[in-house]
Amino acid sequence: MAPSLSTCPSFSILLLCISLSWTSATGEGEGGGREGESSDVLLNAHAILNTVGWGILLPCGVLAARYVKPFADPAWFYAHITLQIFGYALGVAGWVTGLNLDDEDAKGGNPDKHGAIGAILFGICTLQMLALFLRPNKDHKIRKAWNLYHYSLAASILILGIINIFEGFEIMSPPAKWRRTYIGILVALGGVAIMLEIVTWIYVCRKKRYSQVALHGATVGGTYQFEKGALG
């Protein structure tokens, strides 16, 4: 059964992040007005929130779904949705902040392209979050179609998120160390994914082979055992 909003406190954090970002970006609240606000603060907040949300937490959530599932069920599911919800919360907060940035602050790149990709990313990721509440049971007739929908959107989100982060680097022109740091994070995530892919395949293949042998029986002490688990 899909969890309800009341069982997902992370959505409260999502709403709080959006509210704080909107208040900060529009200059509302105590000490109102945008006078004295530093555009650099908003720009940095936009960059950090989006990079961590779209570019780090969401990929980590995908890794959890792909590689934790064979070893820890259903813990993988809760790790997956937790990372996705927090990633979405930070990403949306960063997107809302970005809506209030002036293109005049751009030092390069194409702000219009960056904004368009951001809007598409927000829309696709919002559809993906709805999957949390619309996920059919494993034996439901539309589960295969839902899986295709879910995996396709996940791939699109990862690709667009990473592309737009580098678009943001072009616009901000930060010190080279920040670009290199994010590239290093992507390389590390890729390395972890490759390592876990190998480990997972070895584990799954061995488990499958063991199950087949145990199912058909094995000779133990001169007798033929047909019970599952007889190899132990």
- Residues 6 or more apart whose CB falls under 8 angstroms from that of 142 comprise 136
Task: Identify whether 70 is preceded by a cis peptide bond (ω within 30 of 0).
Answer: no
Neighbours of 53 (CB within 10 A): 23
Domains and CATH numbers, the chain: 10-174 (1.20.120.1770)
Q: Which residues are annotated as a binding site for heme b?
A: 46, 80, 114, 150
**CA gap 69, 55 in Å, rounded:** 22
Indicate whether 86 pLDDT > 80.
yes
pLDDT band at residue 22, thresholds of 50, 70 and 90? very low
Q: Which residues are annotated as a binding site?
A: 46, 80, 114, 150
Q: Which residues of 196-219 are buried (b: 16+ CB within 10 A; e: fewer)?
A: beeebeeeeeeeeeeeeebeeeee
Indicate whether 92 pLDDT > 60.
yes
Helix, strand, coil shares of the chain, percent, nearest 5, are 75, 5, 25
Taking CA atoms, 186 is separated from 59, 191, 195, in Å, by: 9, 9, 14
Q: What is the DSSP letter of 142?
A: T
**CA gap 202, 185 in Å, rounded:** 26
Q: Which residues of 150-165 are buried (b: 16+ CB within 10 A; e: fewer)?
A: beebbebbbebbbebb
pLDDT band at residue 84, thresholds of 50, 70 and 90? very high
Q: Identify the pLDDT of residue 176.
A: 92
Q: What is the mean pLDDT of residues 213-218?
A: 58
Q: Identify the pLDDT of residue 213.
A: 64
